[in-house]
Amino acid sequence: MLKKFLFYFVCIMAIFHCQAQNKKLLISPLRGFDNFYVYTTYQNVGNVLYPSNSMYLITKDGVVMFDTPWDTTQFQPLLDSIKIKHNKKVIMCISTHHHDDRTIGLEFLRGNGIKTLSSKLTLELCKKYNEKQAQYVFNNDTIFNVGGYKFEVYYPGEGHSKDNIVIWFPKQKLLYGGCFIKSTEANNLGNMDEVNVEKWKISALNLLEKYPNPEMIIPGHFIWNKKALKHTIKLLKKYENNK
């Protein structure tokens, strides 16, 4: 009994130590959603640390990641933290579009025996822009069943990028939007390199019609709540009106 207590005590101390020492990786349990975690890494953008949200799900078969860390120094610390916290290995990772805040860790994960996936369009754009590539591809609208959890990837149309997909968990009514969806903290549309605002607005309205009442929405950057999609539509309309 004492040995068991000491083992768990050491594990907890190790987690606290990692969190105290590693300010570049923040892992947050998603309140109200058992086994879902948002993890945030950072990059320096214009001399400001800019957060990037990704997510992982604990299943009975292992851990599923949705997008990769943006900070290349956090690939191994993330895997180590997951192992310490949950005593499970990451078994797969799905990237939601081709930009490096979603894909830069794919090669590392593949090298660690983790199955990496993206849409076919994302793979094509990764090749075009010399981004890291997933090992496997799927058609845009695909249903997955992993370790007792069901989720679907859905392509609403062009948005933040030409290839951005979202991931919907029907039982939990949880929408992982990635960079297609802007946080309610955002006051602009961010990186506009690939953006056609009119198409993004149509795509966002398509998404709202398909999943009208999510309990939670995880955007690619900054805080998450269930109002983020409607906020994104407001930003898109505001941009068009001010154009």
**pLDDT tens for each residue of 112-142:** 999 999 999 999 999 999 999 999 999 879 9
pLDDT band at 21 (very low <50, low <70, confident <90, very high): very low
* Tokens encoding 239: 């941009």
Q: Where are the domains of the chain?
A: 22-242
pLDDT for residue 140? 78
Q: Are 140 and 121 in contact (CB under 8 A)?
A: yes
Query: Is 99 marked active-site?
Result: yes
Active-site entry in 101, 163, 221, 231: 101
Q: If you classify domain 22-242 with CATH, what class do you get?
A: alpha beta
Give dist(CA 154, CA 207) in Å, integer.
9
Q: 188-214 pLDDT, tens per residue?
A: 999 999 999 999 999 999 999 999 999
Q: What is the DSSP string of the chain?
A: -HHHHHHHHHHHHHHHHHHHH-TTEEEEE-TTSTTEEEEEEEEEETTEEEEEEEEEEEETTEEEEES--SSGGGHHHHHHHHHHHHS--EEEEE-SSSSHHHHTTHHHHHHTT-EEEEEHHHHHHHHHTT----SEEE-SSEEEEETTEEEEEE---SSSSSS--EEEETTTTEEEEETTS--TT-SS----TT--HHHHHHHHHHHHHHS---SEEEESSS--BTTHHHHHHHHHHHHHHH-
| pLDDT for residue 83 is more than 90 | yes
10 versus 184: the higher-pLDDT residue is 184
Active-site entry in 99, 163, 164, 231: 99
Query: Is 86 marked active-site?
Result: no
Query: Is 160 marked active-site?
Result: yes
Active-site entry in 112, 139, 187, 191: 191
Active-site entry in 53, 97, 98, 164: 97
- Side-chain-side CA neighbours of 60 within 13 Å: the count stands at 5
Active-site entry in 160, 163, 164, 231: 160
The pTM of the full predicted model, rounded to 2 decimals, is: 0.90
Query: Is 191 marked active-site?
Result: yes
Q: Which of 219, 243, 241, 242 is nearest to 230 (CA)?
A: 219
